[in-house]
Each structure stands twice: as structure tokens, then as C-alpha cells.
Amino acid sequence: MIKKVKVEQLEPGIFVHDFNCEWRENSLRVDQLMIKDRRIIDILSSMGVQEVYIDTDRGRDVRDAKSAFEVKREVDKALHSMAKNGTTPAATVSFTEELQVAKNIKKQATTVMAKAMEDVRQGKALETEGTYVLIDKMNESISRNKDALLLLTKIRNKDEYTLMHSVSVGAYILNFCNANQIPHRRTMDLAIGAMFHDLGKTLVPLTILNKPGKLVESELEVMRRHPEYSAKILRSTEGLPAESYDIGLHHHERFDGNGYPHGLKGDKITFGSQLAAIADVFDALTSDRCYKKGIDRVAGLRKLYEWSEFHFNKELTYQFIRSIGVYPIGACVKLESERIGVVIGSTDDVLRPVVRVFYDDRKKNPVPVYDLDLSHSDDGVQGYEDPLKWQVQREKLFDDVQASFF
Ligand SMILES: [Fe+2]
Ligand SMILES: [Fe+2]
């Protein structure tokens, strides 16, 4: 059985199934391990890891630890009630309609960000005007319909990971600001910092940046210099707000002091950097990398929730989760009527998305596929379902939505 335990509960003879530490980028060289002696426990503590998942079928048990299933159920319940307490602004145009505009914005973003990165690589001054124009367009798109651009930036080819990651983090910040009515000027300051937060990576050798495996310690050391590089570039660029280079410098700091480069704790980290840290980790988790596949967005939200206990500002994480919506497009859900479906759109009620229904679990029978707008229905979401269990991908339920991405 998979169980979640505190690092202090670990003992030799326990098998670690998942170090649960992707809140640190590229942190450990192995994914699973049998604990042979206390050395690894000390390493985990020194890294700031608080909780891990163990496999009791492959090693010793920890009696009163919660099972992964129980943890998941608790987190899902918390996410559901979190959504009840929040509102997100209603979309003013449909997802499909906005997707056409968002596609052009994505294209423009690729050009603008590639130029910014190339300029830095060549030691030229960073030109910010084009990025500000781009951010404005992204902001408008998100306020019309947040899902189009947020989903579109997930689709990226391998070599444009860093580029699209920056755009995606920018889009999440804009979405957060839009959901929380942050004034326009402040929104722009935060977004430009988010767009440029990883510019320092341009100065990290490509062999390290795009390495298709885990980095060794010396490579990690080089990689961990990128926030300082980012800050240096942004500080020397005329007209950028102080908050932007702070985001460059401190987006890898963690709320409990276990981040880098300065190990800042709590409110010693600025609001912008706390927020960028959450968006940065969420995007990294849910996007495909050169060495691993991204997890689905619901799984990503669960992880943010779990880690907010230690590594992020808790309230801010909750606000961030609400801004995305706990039933994002692509989430597989069970309805109160026991029917199973996939979320294909949001409505102005965060708890009542549009669901494509394909199975009746009460009758244990597939049903002819139909779309149900829960904001106009007595039915509601009961909880999440595992998309793998229902073979959502193989059922091609989502094809028309996905096909419109390209
Ligand atoms: Fe970074
Ligand atoms: Fe990043």
C-alpha cells in the first residue's frame, strides 16, 4: 500500500515510492529507493523535504500513516470546498472563439520571446516594448476566456520549453490578477517579471538546459545560477519595475526557507516572487519536459495544495488554485447522478462546468456522448475520477476540443 509519511518517521527498511519534492526543480537523481541507512533521511531533511510516499509492499510499514488514497480524498474534498468560496470572472466569449485569437497570440509570443532570448544570448540590450504589447493582448484574451491561452501554452515542442514556459507563467499571473482584480499597472509589473523570470537560463549551456536526464550536482550548480543571471539582465534593462527583477531573482525561493539563491523565508519573499513560484512549479509539473511527461492539471492542483502546507504561501496558493478553477478543461469527473464525463468548458459558476458525459456508472453502461452545461442543470459534480481508469484519451472524447488547438 502507498502511504504518506513525515520525513521524521522514515527508518531504514522503508521503501520510498515518491519523494514528493518536485517543488524543488531537478532535485534528486533517483525517483524511488529502499532506505538502507540514515544518510538518505538526513539528506532529505537538509533539502527541506517534509513528507514522502512509501510503498509498504516493498518495505517496512508505518502504522498510523494515511494511505495515498485517503490523502487524495481529503485533498479533493478541500479543493471542492475551496471552489465554493471563490468566484472567477465569467467568460465573455466561448472557448472555441477565443482559441482562434489565442493561437495568433501564441505565435506572436514565440517570436517576441525568441528575440528577447536571442538578444540576451548575444549580449545585446533587452528590448521590452514588444513584450509589453504582447502582455496586453494576453491579458485581454484571458479576460475574455481564460482557458484558451492557458491551454494553448501547454502545447510546445521540446526545444521551445523554456520559451513557452515563460509565456505560460506570464499567462497564469495575468489570470490570477484578473481573477483577483489586481490594478492594471501592478498586473503589468508582475506579468513582465513572469515573462522574463527565466531569461537567465539563456546563459546556461544548452547541454545542461536540455539534458534528457537528471542533472549531476555540478550541472545543478550551474543551473541554480539562473535566477541571479535573470536579475542581472533585468536590473540593467531600462524602464523595468523593481518587482520584475525581484521575480527573476527570487522565483525559486520557498516559503519555508528551502529555496535558492538566498534561502529567504515567508514574507521576506515579495508577493510577486511568492506568486511566481507557485505559477512556475504548476507549469513545470503539468507540462511535458525533455525527460518526463507532465501530469494532468487536476493532479497538479492537488500537488500545489499539498505543498502549500510547507513550501508556498498557503492563502496565495488557494487563491491561485481558485483562479485556475478546480474543474479545469480536461478534468474527468463523476456527477451526482453517477454519470461520468470530461470537463470541456467553464461557466461563471466554478462548481458547474460544461461536462461531456459518456458513461452511466449507476447502470454500468456507456451512454451516447452528450454535453451537459451544469450551470443550467440540477446535476452537479460529485468528485474527480481517474482519467486513466476511464481511458479518456483513448475514447477520443476530447478530440474536437484538442483538434481545435492546432
Ligand atoms: Fe527558474
Ligand atoms: Fe521557471
- What residues does each domain of the chain span? 2-64, 95-324, 332-403
Ligand showing the shortest atom-to-Cα distance for residue 225 = 1
Distance 166 CA to ligand 2 centre (A): 7
Distance 197 CA to ligand 2 centre (A): 6
Distance 249 CA to ligand 1 centre (A): 9
pLDDT in tens, 328-351: 888 889 999 999 999 888 887 778
Ligand showing the shortest atom-to-Cα distance for residue 289 = 2
User: Which DSSP letter does residue 66 get?
Assistant: E
Element (H, E) at 382: strand 381-384
pLDDT value at residue 216: 87
pLDDT in tens, 152-167: 887 777 668 889 999 9
Kindly list the strands in the beta sheet with 339-345, ordered across the sheet, starting from the edge strand earlier in the chain.
365-373, 354-360, 339-345, 332-335, 381-384
pLDDT value at residue 315: 95
Rounded Cα distance between 333 and 343, Å, is 7
Distance 196 CA to ligand 2 centre (A): 9
Ligand showing the shortest atom-to-Cα distance for residue 251 = 1
Distance 75 CA to ligand 2 centre (A): 26
Q: Which residues of the chain have pLDDT under 70?
A: 26-27, 86-87, 158-159, 290-291, 392-406
Nearest of 45, 44, 53 to residue 302 by alpha carbon: 53
Distance 252 CA to ligand 2 centre (A): 8
pLDDT in tens, 191-231: 999 999 999 999 999 888 888 778 888 999 999 999 999 99
Q: Where are the alpha helices (DSSP H) in 237-365?
A: 242-250, 271-286, 297-307, 314-324
Distance 373 CA to ligand 2 centre (A): 36
Superfamily of 95-324 according to CATH? Hypothetical protein af1432 (1.10.3210.10)
